[in-house]
Amino acid sequence: MPAYIISVVQFTNMTPQLKEYAQKSAALAKSHGGRYVVRGKTVELLEGSGLDGKSVVILEFPTMEQLKAFVKGDEYQKTVKPLRAGTGIYDIGIFEAPPPAMQ
């Protein structure tokens, strides 16, 4: 069953390392079967203000195991994630796909 990482990010410091983070995290996610569903700012804000000026990333993985291998693995935790240190406020969660009856 698919699993998702959803990130809502308010960037506060666009460092050169942030670009490197974006490239390396994308390549690493792909190597674990991940694909981007959404990556960027809203095209149009319909309600509320919680997404105003923020970027959203939705990464889909074929299984929860693949997702966790990516995000909790040593390569991401020790090499890739530190590249985004001090660049913003990150709200990140892991979600399971809805049951088939709800799709």
Look at residues 22, 18, 28, 19 and name the one whose alpha carbon lies nearest to residue 84: 18
What mean pLDDT value characterizes the chain? 95
- For residue 102, pLDDT over 80 is answered with no
Q: What is the CA radius of gyration of the chain?
A: 14
- For residue 103, pLDDT over 90 is answered with no
- Assigned domain for 89 exists: yes
Quote the pTM value.
0.91
* Structural domain total, the chain: 1
- For residue 28, pLDDT over 80 is answered with yes
Q: 10: domain CATH number?
A: 3.30.70.100
Which residues, other chains included, contact 84 with Cβ-Cβ below 8 Å and sequence gap of 6+?
A: 17, 18, 21, 90
- Assigned domain for 46 exists: no
Q: In the structure encoding, which two tokens stand for residue 49, read together?
A: 């203000």
pLDDT value for 35: 98
pLDDT in tens, 51-100: 999 999 999 999 999 999 999 999 999 999 999 999 999 999 999 998 87
- Assigned domain for 103 exists: no
- Assigned domain for 102 exists: no
pLDDT band at 101 (very low <50, low <70, confident <90, very high): confident
The Cα–Cα gap between 7 and 21 comes to 14
Note down the domain range covering 84: 3-41+52-97
- Assigned domain for 20 exists: yes
